Amino acid sequence: MDQQHDGCRLLTVEQLSPIIRKSVASIRSDVGRNPKTLPPICRLPGNKKLLWREQDVLEWIERHVVRIDRIEADAGVAGDSRRPSAMPWEIQKRRGRPTKIETMRRAAAQGGAA
């Protein structure tokens, strides 16, 4: 059921789901819990139905596209490099307890025994 007015198409939760690759349940949950993870919602007076303007959804997606040249610039890598040495997601420190090998290497580097 497409709802249109002056070329502005309104999308329902079911229509939005495949566009942003989220389940209908996740979208409904995120509307109240975490609205920043969704495109701007269209609230019509006297209507509780969740609707999004197609134009707003497409603009929201475009704003969240990460371009490879920006990733390289953030990592401090020259633009002509084929494979950056460290991407931003590779720089993050691992969570949790270090492995035995990591502990031994750190101790060896500091000149002590593990």
**Which pLDDT belongs to residue 51?**
95
Region 22-51: mean pLDDT is 93
Query: What mean pLDDT comes out for the span 27-50?
Result: 93
C-beta of residue 11 within 8 angstroms of C-beta of residue 55: no
Contacts of 41 by beta carbon, 8 Å cutoff, 6+ apart: 31, 35, 50, 51, 52
pLDDT at 33: 94
- Please tell me the distance from the alpha carbon of residue 51 to that of residue 16, in angstroms, as a whole number: 9
Asked if residue 56 has pLDDT above 70, the reply is: yes
pLDDT tier at 42, thresholds 50, 70, 90: very high
| Architecture in CATH of 3-63 | Orthogonal Bundle (1.10)
pLDDT, one tens digit per residue, over 62-114 is 998 877 776 666 666 554 455 555 555 556 667 789 899 989 999 999 886 54
- Tell me the per-residue pLDDT of 19-33, one tens digit each, with 9 for 90 and over: 999 999 999 999 999
Give how far the C-alpha of residue 43 lies from the chain's centroid of Cα atoms, to the nearest Å. Answer: 24
